[in-house]
Structure 1
């Protein structure tokens, strides 16, 4: 779901929203009580470009024939809205959804996406089967390489999956709890808003880059989902700053904690951390998010 525009006047917002509904475009109308603006959100990604074109046409000529046809319906809905505001105990069922935007973020769907849940289950299963990361024989099968010579001999011999499998390894309860909580929150947002194909492609790229970065600098003895988590975090953080219409959310205090932990690990406050996996994932996530936001903002101009 993406916010395609906002209106200062409720009547205009209702009129355009009604037009979108008449065109079979699944959309939502929301009121932000802080600045008294009405936002239009379009649910389906493949209809966003068309919706934006229609919005531009509407703003250029709101009295065009194709928009006039729904005027009477708009007036009726506007009156219903006014009645609801005057008599909140007698709220009627409406054809649009009106929310306070802060409540939207506070009550957002927190259930994990299917792929996100699958990744969490896989990590927990590997953690338990590996004896909490202490079964060296099994753990070695998930390393990029079981040899300490700095070569990718297993990968070059056809074991391509080793580029990705270190993300499933965790070595203590705090390690896996931290990563799974962030994977649940950030991964679910991206999977639900961008779709499972986009999400799994992103995760695989983050895994490959973060794992290779750590391997090339420090060797094969590492594991964890944290490189991917930092990539997801970087993506969501940038989208919140430069493309808020995409609907992602991360609390500013949480962002400070994530960046603070990243720096603390790099300067040696915490030992035994795959810092280059964190860095590789974060850089890719920031770049991916900024590229996505830039394309969207250029497309609007």
Structure 2
């Protein structure tokens, strides 16, 4: 089975599950203390289930869910979907564990500081070794902290969306320890590689994101019972984005070394964990 989503209450979950049942998608529901976890029983149907889940989150009042629930489901579990705004907020916070949220908001706060006049001081404090004359090897945190710096809205939005989506899956299913290893290794070794390619003038969580993508995809391929996976279409998008980074199509300075390094870290860790778990 593969998890494809989480909802705040059983009524909303039942409406979606009944609809998917009508589409021939077999689902399993697990009731937790504060949310309901949805699984696709057949991994081959995971992408379809996740697509419908995203539509349900955006349009919980769509009449098609009520109609199919009436035909296939229990009348006791109907109608109460909750307010869309509160449902989205609940989905955001339950979609990631404590480490996911800590890194998410750390990046947001640093980005806000960057844009209200503290860019130079933040880069001096958090940039890689040699970013300033005083940034020496004794300041060991610099091997990781560039991962928390983002230079533009598109930069941080892209990275944090993937961090929340993939990091939250890993932390909720496999634990904070697994995500912490990927964060630390994926946020340090790719930085070292990027430094030797282009010097210290880089930042961003994209190395970690590619580590998470590689890890989630390989675990889904080799150990689907672990409950995480990345559809091939999503992984294909990440590969296309990686290749485009080597062109000048977007007119941006992209840390391609960090992307490749992070991907290799994630794939290797995924191979190791798929054998061990």
Root-mean-square deviation over aligned CA pairs? 3.5
Alignment check: 8 A CA contact 2:217 2:231 kept: no
Against the structure 1 CA distance between its residues 118 and 256, is the aligned structure 2 distance closer, same or farther, given a 3 Å change threshold?
A: same
Gaps of 5+ in 1: 4-31, 44-86, 93-106, 297-301
| Pairing partner for 2:125 from 134, 141, 144 | 141
CA distance in 1, matches of 2:94, 2:135: 42
Tell me whether 1:242 sits opposite 2:222 in the alignment: yes
The TM-score with structure 2 as length reference comes to: 0.64
Q: Where does structure 2 lack aligned partners over 5 or more consecutive residues?
A: 4-19, 33-71, 78-90
8 Å Cα contact 1:133-1:139 kept in structure 2 = no
> Equivalents in 2 of 1:290, 1:108: separation in Å?
29
For 2:54, the equivalent position in structure 1 comes to: none
> Match of 2:249, SS?
coil
Question: Cα distance, 1:201 vs. partner?
Answer: 2.2
Name the CA distance, whole Å, in 2 between partners of 1:262 and 1:218.
Answer: 17
Structure 1 Cα separation of the partners of residues 26 and 96 of structure 2: 31
Structure 2 residue aligned with 1:278, among 244, 252, 259? 259
Residues paired across the two proteins, number: 208
Report SS of the residue matched to 1:144: coil
Deviations 1:235-280 (A, max 9, x none): 0011111111111132332221111000110244343001101111
Instruction: String of CA shifts for 1:272-300, please: whole Å, max 9, x gaps.
Output: 0011011111100011112222345xxxx
TM-score by length of 1: 0.60
Q: Distance in 1 between matches of 2:93 and 2:106?
A: 23
Matches within 5 A, 1:61-80: none
